[in-house]
Amino acid sequence: MTRDDEAPTLTADEQLLVLPDDLRHELKEPMGPIETDAERLLETVDGPVIAIGDVVTYHLLQAGHRPAVALVDGRTKRTAVDEEIRDAVTEGASIEVRNPPAELGAPVVRALRRALAADDPTTILVDGEEDLVALPAIVAAPENASVVYGQPDKGMVHVTVTDDHRAEMRDLLERFEGDTERFWELLEG
């Protein structure tokens, strides 16, 4: 894992989308209801769970639920998670990729597709940042899947995937800078 001063970079052919500064404020608003209790959140789940973030993944594991897909980076709020969380969420990590902060690169998009298609729970260990992967996860996840990500100092945001959510995320991703055409080709096959 790299430190903040050693942010990973991607080659030109790996780089896809970059979050423009004018979209950052839109991503601060939660995309679904916020829950602080993982067991209560899981009571409303009716499909596979895609967990974005170390602390979210840890709370789901502590509640006895291994997400179908988990994306972790060893950090929370830009600092390293403690050893207990890191060990719990990285145990059995099966895919390792680089993804720079504020970007969605080809390696993480390919890993997400692979994980969603896998029969067994899959953990993707990201060198860099995994936060933005919630957006393509909502687009690519099956109907009624749950995408759960952390809202700093608030709790876990639970998005039940619907066509409306997919359309909203598509619109948002279209406003990113970069090669959107190649992004969609990789995400949707």
**What confidence tens digit (pLDDT) does each residue in 175-188 have?**
999 999 999 999 99
Task: Confirm or deny that 153 is annotated as ligand binding.
Answer: yes
> Comparing C-alpha atoms, which of 40, 49, 95 is closest to residue 73?
95
Residue position matching structure tokens 């687009």? 139
pLDDT at 25 over 70: yes
Mean pLDDT of the chain: 89
Distant-in-sequence, close-in-space partners of 64: CB < 8 Å, separation ≥ 6:
none
Domain range summary for the chain, segments of one domain joined by +: 31-47+67-97+132-189
pLDDT confidence of residue 134: 96
Sheet-wide strand order for 155-160: 34-35, 155-160, 146-151, 49-52, 69-72, 122-128, 95-99
pLDDT confidence of residue 6: 52
**What confidence tens digit (pLDDT) does each residue in 110-149 have?**
999 999 999 999 999 999 889 999 999 999 999 999 999 9
Task: Confirm or deny that 91 is annotated as ligand binding.
Answer: no
Do 177 and 20 contact (CB within 8 A), yes or no? yes
pLDDT confidence of residue 3: 40
**What confidence tens digit (pLDDT) does each residue in 52-99 have?**
999 999 999 999 999 999 999 877 777 777 888 888 888 877 899 999
Polymer length of the chain:
189
Task: Confirm or deny that 55 is annotated as ligand binding.
Answer: yes
Task: Confirm or deny that 54 is annotated as ligand binding.
Answer: yes
- Residue burial 46-64, b: 16+ Cβ < 10 Å; e: rest: eebbbbbbbbbbbbbbeee
**Confidence tier at 12 by pLDDT (50, 70, 90):** low
- Pairing relation of β-strands 95-99 and 122-128? parallel
**Confidence tier at 35 by pLDDT (50, 70, 90):** very high
pLDDT confidence of residue 186: 94
pLDDT at 161 over 60: yes
pLDDT confidence of residue 148: 97
Task: Confirm or deny that 130 is annotated as ligand binding.
Answer: yes
Task: Confirm or deny that 143 is annotated as ligand binding.
Answer: no
* pTM assigned to the model: 0.90
